[in-house]
Amino acid sequence: MNEVPTQRTIGRSILALLAGFVLVVVLTLVTDLVLHAIGVYPPLGQPLSGGLLLAATGYRTIYGVAGSYLTARLAPYRPMQHALVGGMVGFLLSLVGLLTTWNRPDTVGAHWYPIALVILALRTAWVGGKIRIMQLDVAG
């Protein structure tokens, strides 16, 4: 496996990161929309209760692991580092979400929720990357 980044592998790295990001966003949006449509979630624009936020945290965590795994799986080299770069992007986006909603509890429902997303971002990325590394270790 080539460890030296070339123009081709840099392009593949970017695509791996984009694929993981798109997977997480699409899964999250579809799940949210379905839960709103079937009445589990309140109408759009209304905050979720604590139990619903806990459920959202759960599936977003699973989707974060899946997206990080996909990034690591598609990475041309250093799968864990690719997964963690994706996790860093997730961390930064979650931090922006935390800061922009902090004084607007009516939009989120509870302060703990965006804090949890910030805390979990790199952890889920590590787990997704670790799953891929374990697969490579078993196969190698």
pTM of the shown model: 0.91
> 46-73, pLDDT tens digit by residue?
889 999 999 999 999 999 999 999 999 9
pLDDT at 4: 66
pLDDT at 97: 93
> So where are the chain's domains?
7-139
Give the residue-averaged pLDDT of 115-119.
Answer: 97
> 2-41, pLDDT tens digit by residue?
466 788 899 999 999 999 999 999 999 999 999 999 999 9
pLDDT at 29: 97
pLDDT at 21: 98
User: What region, left, alpha or beta, does residue 22 occupy, with left being phi > 0 and alpha being psi -120 to 50 degrees?
Assistant: alpha
Residue 137 buriedness (CB in 10 A; 0-12 / 13-18 / 19+): exposed
